[in-house]
Amino acid sequence: MCNIHANVCTIARTFELETEHAMDTGRSIGCVVLDHFRAHLELARRPELADRPGLIVDRSGSRPLIADSLPPASPVKAGMTLERALALEPEAMVLEADEPHYRREFEQILGALAEVSDRVEGAERDGGLGVAYIGLDGLDRMHGGEGPLHEALLTAIPAACGPRVGVGPNLFTAFVAARTRRAPGLSLVEGDQARFLAPHPIGLLPLPPDLLEELGMLGLHRLGDVAAQEPEALLDRFGREGRRAWELASGIDERPLRPRAPAERVSETISLPSRANSLELLRLAVDTLVARVFAQPGMQGRYAGTAMLTCHPEDAPDWTKAFHFRRPVGDWRRAAAIIKARLETEHPRAPVEAMTITLAGLSGASGAQLSLFPDQRADREQRLLEAERGLQARFGGKQALHRLVEAAPWHPAPELRTLQVPIDPAARSGMRPVTAPASVEVREDPGERPSAVRIGGQWRAVSRIENRWSFDLWWRPAPIQRSYYRVSAEDGRRLTLYRDGEDQQWYRQSA
């Protein structure tokens, strides 16, 4: 959990409890609304932004749109274009939306609510991230009464998120009670729902914007205005959505709570070589990760319906893509091919430090047809795997066999051209450069060229510089600048040294 969870304080006793008295319908639904949820999470990570306007921008679509705004940026609304938002708040700081982080944190909150009730729904239908419904009927006895139940509901949510909770006999009434609270806390609606709903704006109705606009043009600005109409008239003019608007405004909502099913997932993460961001390397990482996740004991004989690819760049939000397979996939090669095909057109631009693959929608069977012909490639790989595990048994579990794969043969940095990957997909080690550089002590002459190098604890003079070259990848997000020297030492050794222009240190490049 992020810091926002680490600093949770008990809030139930300090929150005001508002109650609308009424009859008991036998059904009790709680609704949690976390306004500016993304903004609260960003402030938890960067407290220094508390006094500045900020715009959280989602660039996943064709146009950058505002996903949320930090509290000082009050004129800005979610869904605005970045251009319009900056016109309203020209001094605002622009933050890239980190949707995977926001979803993970919201999942943590849903998990905490599941400790109170086994009926929890992450409400994509009524506001998406930051809105949840909880079934509460029948739980007061378990918690020692209605008051302790409501207290347990409030304390399950981080205080820093400013939770607003509504409790009512149906989804819409609970949602309006939560959404219209002026301060964090809990509002309880138990009575004449139409009377409670009447003064609130029609914008709370879960209806298309064009329909809400038409209702406003007819002078129906409050829920009470809609409830006062003849339902048949609204049905004739707007169809079923018109009838639905009247029912909700009148406190009639028969929509069932849709508790989320516990999602079974399997995932693997791998670290990538530093400063590497070639497409070939990303493809290789996908192959390695997908093979590894399908090799898990829990995936034997099973199929995946979806996959989530998450790249963790350097100094940038996570880059995530979801894949929904048309038919469940039980072969890692097929799953990897689908993911790599998407990478051809969509891939992260910043250097990637690590990559994660998560499979979900798991099942035990598929309609895939078996081949009549043997898979010679799979048979060869199986024999290699058996040989590798035999060697591991002899050498105490250490990986013995690796596959050499060209990741970026054109790259001027030798360690990024070829990588070694374990043959065994269950191996925990990641991809490693074949020619990894090592730090070395070097004495320089007045021209900053190597004059002596420390080898085996002894200084060896450089007798001759045989070759020299350099490159400067200044345009990369993580620039690489090096000056190479192919030298002969006084003892006859030939070495390749380079001076890194970024950290000003010397390194020995292995052959």
Residue 316 DSSP label: S
The closest alpha carbon to 357, from 397, 399, 329, belongs to: 329
144 and 50 part of one domain: yes
Answer whether residue 405 is part of any domain: no
Predicted confidence at residue 126, as pLDDT, reads 54
Domain of residue 224: give its range. Answer: 197-249
64 and 115 part of one domain: yes
CB 413 within 8 A of CB 419: no
The closest alpha carbon to 207, from 248, 173, 235, 237, belongs to: 248
**Which of 54-63, 144-153, 178-187, 386-395 has the weakest average pLDDT?**
386-395
Which spans in 396-487 are helix H? none
Predicted confidence (pLDDT) at residue 200 exceeds the cutoff of 80? yes
The tokens of 96 are what? Answer: 């890239």
Burial of 399 (0-12, 13-18, 19+ CB in 10 A): middle
Instruction: Give the contacts of 131 (CB within 8 A, at least 6 positions apart).
Output: 31, 32, 33, 34, 122, 123, 175
Residue with tokens 């709570």: 257
Give 197 or 404, the one with higher predicted confidence: 197
- pLDDT tens digits, residue range 419-471? 877 766 666 666 778 888 999 999 999 989 999 999 888 999 999 999 999 99
Answer whether residue 499 is part of any domain: yes
HEC per residue, 166-211: EEECCHHHHHHHHHCCCCCEEEEECCCHHHHHCCCEHHHCCCCHHH
CATH number of the domain that 92 lies in? Answer: 3.30.70.270
Residue 511 DSSP label: -
Answer whether residue 478 is part of any domain: yes
Answer whether residue 289 is part of any domain: yes
Predicted confidence (pLDDT) at residue 65 exceeds the cutoff of 80? yes
Give 276 or 109, the one with higher predicted confidence: 109
229 and 317 part of one domain: no
Predicted confidence at residue 84, as pLDDT, reads 93
The closest alpha carbon to 70, from 104, 46, 99, 103, belongs to: 46
**Which of 31-45, 127-141, 331-345, 368-382 has the weakest average pLDDT?**
368-382
Give 220 or 369, the one with higher predicted confidence: 220
The closest alpha carbon to 469, from 496, 448, 431, belongs to: 496
486 in helix, strand or coil?
A: strand
- pLDDT tens digits, residue range 371-417? 444 555 555 666 666 665 666 666 666 666 777 877 778 888 888 88
**Range 29-50 average pLDDT:** 90
Could you tell me the CA-to-CA distances from 459 to 141, 220, 456, 486, 504 in Å, in that order? Answer: 79, 88, 8, 17, 20
CA 90/CA 88 separation, integer angstroms:
6
Predicted confidence at residue 38, as pLDDT, reads 92
Give 64 or 62, the one with higher predicted confidence: 64
The per-residue b/e assignment along 250-260, b for 16 or more CB within 10 angstroms, e otherwise, is: bbbbeeebebe
100 and 44 part of one domain: yes
Answer whether residue 241 is part of any domain: yes
**Which of 10-24, 50-64, 303-317, 368-382 has the weakest average pLDDT?**
10-24
53 and 120 part of one domain: yes
- pLDDT tens digits, residue range 156-180? 998 888 899 999 999 999 999 999 9
First to last CA, the chain: 44
184 and 69 part of one domain: yes
Predicted confidence at residue 73, as pLDDT, reads 63
The residue out of 321, 351, 366 marking a domain boundary is 366
CA 19/CA 188 separation, integer angstroms:
5
- Other CB atoms within 10 A of residue 461 CB: 12
The residue out of 214, 249, 284 marking a domain boundary is 249
- Total domain count for the chain? 4
Predicted confidence at residue 238, as pLDDT, reads 92
Answer whether residue 397 is part of any domain: no
Predicted confidence (pLDDT) at residue 223 exceeds the cutoff of 70? yes
307 in helix, strand or coil?
A: strand
Answer whether residue 315 is part of any domain: yes
CB 423 within 8 A of CB 401: yes
Instruction: Give the contacts of 504 (CB within 8 A, at least 6 positions apart).
Output: none
Predicted confidence at residue 511, as pLDDT, reads 63
69 and 148 part of one domain: yes
Predicted confidence at residue 24, as pLDDT, reads 43
Could you tell me the CA-to-CA distances from 497 to 29, 456, 466, 500, 511 in Å, in that order? Answer: 69, 16, 12, 10, 11
CB 411 within 8 A of CB 417: yes
pLDDT class of 81 with cuts at 50, 70, 90: very high
pLDDT class of 315 with cuts at 50, 70, 90: confident
User: What distance separates the 2 farthest-apart alpha carbons in the chain?
Assistant: 100
CA 28/CA 141 separation, integer angstroms:
13
Predicted confidence (pLDDT) at residue 344 exceeds the cutoff of 50? yes
pTM of the predicted structure, to 2 decimals: 0.59
97 and 206 part of one domain: no
**Which of 160-169, 211-220, 470-479 has the weakest average pLDDT?**
470-479
**Which of 89-103, 359-373, 413-427 has the weakest average pLDDT?**
359-373
297 and 345 part of one domain: yes
The tokens of 75 are what? Answer: 């004129």
- pLDDT tens digits, residue range 4-35? 443 333 333 334 444 444 434 468 999 999 98
Average pLDDT, the chain: 83
The residue out of 335, 366, 397 marking a domain boundary is 366
78 and 53 part of one domain: yes
CATH number of the domain that 240 lies in? Answer: 1.10.150.20
Residue 263 DSSP label: P
CA 489/CA 8 separation, integer angstroms:
62
Instruction: Give the contacts of 415 (CB within 8 A, at least 6 positions apart).
Output: 273, 433, 434, 435, 436, 437, 509
The Cα angle at residue 371 between residues 286 and 421, in degrees rounded to 5: 25
CA 5/CA 331 separation, integer angstroms:
39
92 and 166 part of one domain: yes
58 and 161 part of one domain: yes
Answer whether residue 379 is part of any domain: no
CB 121 within 8 A of CB 257: yes
Residue 364 DSSP label: S
CATH number of the domain that 281 lies in? Answer: 3.30.1490.100
Predicted confidence at residue 191, as pLDDT, reads 80
Instruction: Give the contacts of 477 (CB within 8 A, at least 6 positions apart).
Output: 277, 313, 314, 315, 316, 349, 350, 351
